[in-house]
Each structure stands twice: as C-alpha cells, then as structure tokens.
Amino acid sequence: MMRGALRVGLSVVVLLGLTGCAGDFRYNWQWSILTCTSENIDAGCIGPYFYWILQGLWWTIAVASAAWVIAFSLGSVIGILRTLDKPILVVVPFVKSPIYFRTRWIGTSKGIITVDVGWFLHGFANIYVTVFRNVPLLVQLFLWYFVFPELVPHDAGMWLKRDLPFPEVSTAIFCLGLYTASRVAEQVRAGINSISRGQQYAAMAIGLTPVQVYRYVLLPVSFRIIIPPLTSDFLGVFKNSSLALTIGVLELTAMTRQIEEYSYAGFEAFTAATVLYIGVTAIVMGAMRIVEARVRIPGMISLQAK
C-alpha cells in the first residue's frame, strides 16, 4: 500500500519533469534553489528554502491534526444527536404550571412541566449540519476571522482580536474543525442508520438502556463501517488546511508561494509541496488502512488480502 502511494508520488514528479521537457514548455529547472543557503545571497537566495517548506509542512500538519480532533469528536456527537428518534423528557425542577398544555417539545401533566430535550438536541444537530456543510469553507474562514469578533460582545471581540494566542492558526483550526465536523456527523449518522433496526431491538430487549445500546452496539459497529469515508474526510482536512493561507497561516502552500515570490522558482517549490502533500496523505491513508484492518468486523468489510 505504502509502495503504491510512493509509486503515485514518483509518477507525479516524473510527469512534471516530462511536461517540463515536452513541447514548447521550456523551463530551466533549478532544484538547487531549494537547498541553497544564505551564502549565495548574491544569487538572490536567502534560503535554505527547503527549511521554509518544512516549516510550512509543520503548520499544515499541526492545523490539520488539531482540526481533525475537533471534527472527529464534535462530528461524532452531532451525528449521534441526529439519529435520536425518541423524546428525552426532562422535568423542569421547582416550576409548577397551573394550566395544562402540550406541544411537540414541552408539555405539562399534573402541574409538572416536562421538556423534550431530545427534540432540541436533534434540531440543533440538524441546523448545525445544514449551516456548516452548505457554506463554502473559504467564506466560513473569513466569517470567523473577520466578522465573528465584531459580532460578539465588545470585550470578547477585543480578546479575540488582541489576546488570542496564534490568532490565525487558532481561527483556522477552529473553523476547519467545525466545518469538517459537519461532514463527519453525516458519516456517523449514515453509519448508525445503516445498522438494522433488529440490532437495536435485540439489545434493548436484552436489557440495555438506550445509552448502552449506542455504547455497545450501534457505535462499535457503525464506526467500523464508516472508516473508509472517514479517511476521506481526514485527508480532506489536510488538503483544506491550505485555505488557511488566506488569513495568514504560514502553512505549506503559503510557504511555497512565498518561496516563489522570493526566488521565482515557483515550479520547484510547488513540485516539492505537491510531493509533500501526497506523502502526508499517503501516510494518513496507510495508517487508516491499518486501523481498518485491525478493527474490521469479521465477514463484513472485505479488505483485499495483500
């Protein structure tokens, strides 16, 4: 598998090289620009640029990983909330109602007011997914970075603008995490819904509470089923992290552009970035494959025998 990714990576390099040689495309490849040091300053190099690329790579990995932690945990919760189909009634303490009324989410009986918390949670999860999945990621990024601090109370806004540590990086992680969470939520929901109703019934009849049904039956099975689509979202986080350059995060793509601006050696820099992106995602893919093989449900997900 890893060999496969390596093969793809190499062919990309070869392809770029070939296009460089073919037809009217004449370009004088200067790979040494990536490794030269500040001693060649007269040649217009303040590198070593490769060090810049590594720095960018570090931020890409940091932003993407942190965003994935948010996306995975929040997305799982939202996805589970979206599958709630029963009312979760909570009695409002200390408040008595003299009148009898009943709506979809709140009702009274014997003067005790009960609220269907499940209805609110389910509704919140639905709205969340609708909003975060349907607004372009770039727009979300700008909204969080430029608009959000103006919307919150003045002091909080000031804190966001002035005291938030690593403001660009934090915002990028936060935004990317929330966006990807909406995608993860959909995978989780689909995974849970794909499990036959009988499994739930069987578990409940045996004596499991609804929470235990999720804990011991629905989640263990659904999370294993959705590993392949989750892998796509995990890869998506790495690729989408490149948008963070628009609010000033010096991640891999931003660094590459910077090298181009300094050295005019854009092709070399972008080739290096491409290879690194593929390398990182190949590692993620490989890791997820291993996870998938380790936890796979016997007889359910057919992995090709290698």
Partner 1 sequence: MLTLIEIDCRYNGHAAVRGLGMHVTPGNLVCLLGPSGCGKTTVLRAIAGFHALSEGEILLKGRQVSRPGFTLPPEQRHLGMVFQDYALFPHLNVAENVGFGLRAIPQTEKRAVIAELLDTVGLGGLDRRYPHELSGGQQQRVALARALAPKPDLILMDEPFSNLDVEFRERLSGEVRDILKQQGITAVLVTHDQNEAFALGDKVGVMHEGRLLQWDTPYNLYHEPACRFVADFIGQGVFLNGTLVAPDTVQTEIGMCKGNRAYPWGKDAPIEVLFRPDDIVPDPDSPLRGKVTQKAFKGAEFLYTLQLPTGGHVLSLFPSHADHPVGATVGIRVEADHLVAFPRA
List residues binding partner 1 (CB under 8 A).
196, 198-199, 201-210, 212, 216-217, 220-221, 224, 297-300
Nearer to partner 1, 170 or 212 (CB): 212
Tell the smallest beta-carbon distance from residue 199 to partner 1 (Å).
5
Quick check: 214 and 80 in contact, CB under 8 A? yes
Contacts 24+ apart (CB under 8 A), 240-243: 240/137, 240/176, 240/179, 240/180, 241/60, 241/63, 241/64, 241/67, 241/172, 241/176, 242/60, 243/137, 243/138, 243/141, 243/172, 243/176
| Residue with Cβ nearer partner 1 (11 or 209) | 209
- Least separation, in Å, of the C-beta of 301 and partner 1? 10
CA distances from 31 to 12, 47, 229, 243 (A): 16, 13, 37, 26
Give the contacts of 183 (CB within 8 A, at least 6 positions apart). Answer: 71, 75, 133, 233, 236
Closest to partner 1 by CB, 33 or 217: 217
> Which CB sits closer to partner 1, 127 or 202?
202
The least distance separating partner 1 from the CB of residue 208, rounded to whole angstroms, comes to 6
Q: How does DSSP classify residue 143?
A: I
Query: What's the closest the beta carbon of residue 135 comes to partner 1, in angstroms?
Result: 35
User: Looking at beta carbons only, is 129 or 219 nearer to partner 1?
Assistant: 219
Q: How far is the CB of 109 from partner 1 (least distance, A)?
A: 9
* CB count in 10 Å sphere of residue 279: 14
For residue 119, give every residue at least 6 positions away whose Cβ sits within 8 Å of its Cβ, in sequence order, or none. 87, 104, 105
Would you say 93 or 207 has its CB closer to partner 1?
A: 207
> What is the rounded distance in angstroms from the CA atom of residue 11 to the CA atom of residue 17?
9
Nearest distance in Å: CB 219, partner 1? 10
Minimum Å gap between C-beta 190 and partner 1 is: 17
Measured from the CB atom, the residue of 224 and 257 that comes closer to partner 1 is 224
Q: Is 298 exposed, middle or buried (0-12, 13-18, 19+ CB in 10 A)?
A: exposed
Of 131, 142, 149, 146, the C-alpha closest to 244 is 142
